[in-house]
Amino acid sequence: MATAESSSHYVYVSPDAVVKIIDAAGHSRLDREIALVPHLPNGLTAPLLGSGLYRLGTREVRYACYARVPGAAPGMGMPGLDGVTARLLAEEAVQRLDGLHGWMPAGQAGQRLREPLDHGGFVTQAALFAEIENLAARDRDGIMPGHLLDALTAIAERAPLHARAAVPVHADCHWGNWLACGQSVTALLDFEWARFGEPLDDWFFLARFSGPHMETVLDVIARATTTSLETLRAECEVRDAAYLASDLRVALEHPDPPAGMAGDRLRDSRNSSSGATGGAMHADASRGKQQVPASRRPGGWHDRAPSVRPAFSRGSPAPAGLPRTCRPQPSAHSFAGACGDGWPCQCGLAACRPCGGGLASQEPLARPGHGG
C-alpha cells in the first residue's frame, strides 16, 4: 500500500482500501468515527471494512480500514472549479447533509454523538462573550488589534442566546472532506467531529470553505432550506467569530512559537492595520494557507468586497490565516505545532484539535480516491 499525507494519522492507500492508523493513546475521535460509520445513512460515506487495536512493541495503535470510494476531493476553496460544477456539487452536498440531519441515531451511535466534544464552535452567546474576554485577558503583550476585539464583541452582541443540539451534524464538512467525480458527489469523509448540533453548523462549513463560489453555495443552501440569505449570513458570521476567538486564544496560550497557519493567523492579527473581522464570506479560490480579508466592518459575511487572501477557517472573521479549530491535546508541543500524539500538525487550524487527518483532514490529502 502507498502512504498518503496526513497531519495526525498514518494513512495507507491501495486501489480498493484506505487504512487509517493512530496511536491509541493520542485521542478518541477515531473511536467516534468507527462507532458511527456503520450506522450512517446508506451511501453517505466510505464503508468501514474493519477496525481494532494492534500492539506495536510497547505501544498500541488503533486502525480503521475503509473501502476506497471513487473520486477526489474538490479541495478547500474549490480550486479550479467552474461555477456550474460548484453549484451542482453544492446541491448534491446539501441533499446528502439533509439526509444526515434527518437521521435518527439510536443505541451506540446516539450515545457517541452525545459524548462531550470540545469543538471550539458556537454554543451560547454567554460562552462567546467569555471566550472573547478570555482572549483579551490572555493578550498580556497587547498584540491583538483593538478593532479585532471590538468586532468580535459586536458579533457576539448580535448572536442568538444559544445553539440547538437537535440533529446529527458532520461539523467538518468543508470541501476537503468530500469526494466527487466530475459534477457528482460520491462521499463525505471524516466523521471524527460529528455531534449533535443544528444544520447551520454544517451550512457554515459548506459555504465558508468554497472560495470564490461562496455566494453560489449560499444561494444553494438558502433555496434548499428556505432560509433567507440574511439569516444564513448572520448565523455563519457568529460561528466564524466563535472559531476565531477560540483559535486566537489558544495561539496565545501556546506562543513558543505558534506554527503553521495558526502562527499565520496570530501574526496577521498583529500586523493588520485595517479591518476588524474580515470578509469571511468572500474567499479566494487558492489552496494553502487560508486567510481572511480585511474589512472595515464586523461581519464580513454581509460585505461584498472581494477577498484579499484565501479564506478557509473554521472561524475567521478577522485578518488572519487559520482554518478551523483543531484543538491541541494536553501533550501538544505548541499551538498547532503538533497534534496530541506528537505528530506534526499541518492543518493550520486556529487551535490544533488535532486535525483529524486520515481519510479527510482539514488539509485535503493530495491523492485520488479518499482525497480529503
Is 340's pLDDT higher than 60? no
* Pair 302, 237: CB distance under 8 Å: yes
Q: What is the pLDDT of residues 80-108, one digit of tens each?
A: 999 999 999 999 999 999 999 999 998 99
Phi, psi of 121 (to 5 degrees): -90, -170
Q: What pLDDT does residue 204 have?
A: 97
User: What is the distance between the alpha carbons of residues 236 and 281, in angstroms, rounded to a whole number?
Assistant: 9
H helical segments located in the chain: 29-36, 83-101, 107-114, 125-138, 146-158, 199-208, 214-225, 229-253, 260-271
| In the predicted structure, residue 32 carries a pLDDT above the cut 70 | yes
Give the pLDDT confidence score for residue 146 in this predicted structure. 86
Strand partners, 65: 19, 50
Residue 319, C-alpha cell as written in the block? 485578518
Residue 342: per-residue pLDDT: 32
Distance CA 62, CA 107 (A): 23
The helices-and-strands tally (H runs, E runs) of the chain is 9, 9
Residue 11 has pLDDT above 70, yes or no: yes
Full-model pTM: 0.74
Greatest Cα-to-Cα distance within the chain, rounded to the nearest angstrom: 57
Given a contact cutoff of 8 angstroms between Cβ atoms, the answer to whether 67 and 49 are in contact is yes
Q: Are 77 and 175 in contact, with CB atoms under 8 Å apart?
A: yes
Confidence (pLDDT) at 323: 32
Range with the poorest average pLDDT among 77-91, 195-209, 247-261, 273-287: 273-287
pLDDT at 335: 23
Question: How high is the pLDDT of residue 215?
Answer: 97
- For the chain, give the mean pLDDT: 76
Predicted pLDDT at 145: 87
At 14 the pLDDT is: 95
pLDDT at 322: 28
Looking at per-residue pLDDT, the higher value among 215 and 288 belongs to: 215
Residue 186 confidence (pLDDT) = 98
Average pLDDT over residues 1-5: 86
Q: Is the pLDDT of residue 367 over 90?
A: no
What pLDDT score was predicted for residue 315?
33
- Which pLDDT band holds residue 302 (cuts at 50, 70, 90)? low
- Whether 52 shows a pLDDT value over 90: the answer reads yes
CA distance 9 to 20: 6
Rounded Cα–Cα distance for residues 372 and 361 (Å):
6
Confidence bin at 140 (pLDDT 50/70/90): confident
With H, G, I as helix, E, B as strand and everything else as coil, classify residue 124.
Answer: strand
Structural domains of the chain, with CATH: 70-302 (3.90.1200.10)
| Percentage, residues of the chain above pLDDT 70 | 69
